[in-house]
Amino acid sequence: MEELIPENSTLARRIRAAASKGTLSHAAILSGSGDRMAAARYFAAALECEGEGERPCLRCRQCRKVLEDIHPDVVTVRDDGHKELPVELVRQLRQDVYIRPNDGARKVYIFADCGQLNQRDQNVLLKIVEEGPAYAAFLFCAEKAAALLPTIRSRCVEWKVAGQPETPEMEQARGLCRVLAQGKTLPAAQWLVSLENRRIKREQLQELLQDAWLLTAQALLLQAGKPEDGTLPEEAALLSRSLSSRRLEGLSALLRQYSADCAYNVGAGHVLGALCAQWERLLHATR
């Protein structure tokens, strides 16, 4: 099952409200920093849903197929290998749109990344958005609506997809990683003691250490040259630049171990003390 936007998010509620009034537009832009594809799938499910009551019900046959990404009439248009979509793909789509849906009520095209649509493609699409059959729907995903020509935008309703608000634990994990990136004992000790003084709960500490571990894992990927620069959090980049790979590996293992330890009935203070001592040891043992 693919990711979905939260049922209780403002966007999900607005989509359900529009679907029940029958006012969901046939052309939409899903913009913003959140999970636009998840929002597009939810929107597509609302268009295809055959459930009673609120739509999407997320339980009926149509909804399930959309969510599992196996609905024959919900087409995701993307080409991961190229900067722009191939011309043939857009031409094909122009014909495909006139073939009636064979399972659902609607035919839904989700454009995963509008940055891949050049001006010529957009002009072709504009024609089908304007003159296509009534059963066809078009969902354009773009961080900024400006990726689309004003002519297309004028035909679409824009829906903002908000990013997840950051948890306080993630914020603290970022802070911890910035301190650890200094590669020193004292600042880390002071930072960890301050957590203890604020009487952090075991569950919160576990989440914080997990988040910090995630940042070190991303930093290790960066050192291995895996993802493109700029796609990962700032702190992951900082760690990858500041610590040697041996230190980073050691730190990553420590964070993982101590976040796991938080699952047992040990005090947060105990975990913090042990982490501090192990960090000091690691700094002495590696360069």
Q: Which residues bind Zn ion (CB under 5 A)?
A: 49, 51, 56-57, 60, 63
Residue tagged 């796991």 (tokens): 260
Task: Answer yes or no: are the C-beta atoms of 31 and 158 closer than 8 Å.
Answer: yes
Residue 55 CB, shortest distance to Zn ion, in Å, is 6
Segment (H or E) for 158: strand 157-160
Which lies closer to Zn ion via its Cβ, residue 49 or residue 148?
49
Distance CA 15, CA 21 (A): 10
Nearer to Zn ion, 64 or 178 (CB): 64
Shortest spacing between CB 56 and Zn ion, in angstroms = 5
Nearest-approach distance from CB 139 to Zn ion, in angstroms: 17
Considering the complex, what minimum distance in angstroms separates the CB of residue 23 from Zn ion? Answer: 18
* DSSP secondary structure string for all residues of 29-69: EEESSS-HHHHHHHHHHHHH---SSSS--S-SHHHHHHHTT
Yes or no: say if 28 and 47 are a contact pair by the CB < 8 Å rule.
no
State in angstroms the smallest separation of the CB of 27 from Zn ion: 22
Q: How far is the CB of 222 from Zn ion (least distance, A)?
A: 41
Strands lying side by side in the sheet with 27-31: 74-77, 107-111, 136-141, 27-31, 157-160
Nearer to Zn ion, 63 or 238 (CB): 63
N- to C-terminal Cα separation, the chain: 44
Q: Smallest distance, Å, CB 50 to Zn ion? A: 6
Return the number of the residue (103 or 234) whose C-beta is nearest Zn ion: 103
Q: CB-wise, 49 or 110, nearer to Zn ion?
A: 49
Residue 98, burial from CB neighbour count under 10 angstroms (0-12, 13-18, 19+): exposed
Distance, CA of 53 to CA of 68 (rounded, Å): 22
Closer of 56 and 250 to Zn ion (Cβ): 56
Q: Nearer Cβ to Zn ion, position 51 or 233?
A: 51
Phi/psi class of residue 113: alpha, beta or left (left: φ > 0; alpha: ψ in -120 to 50)? beta
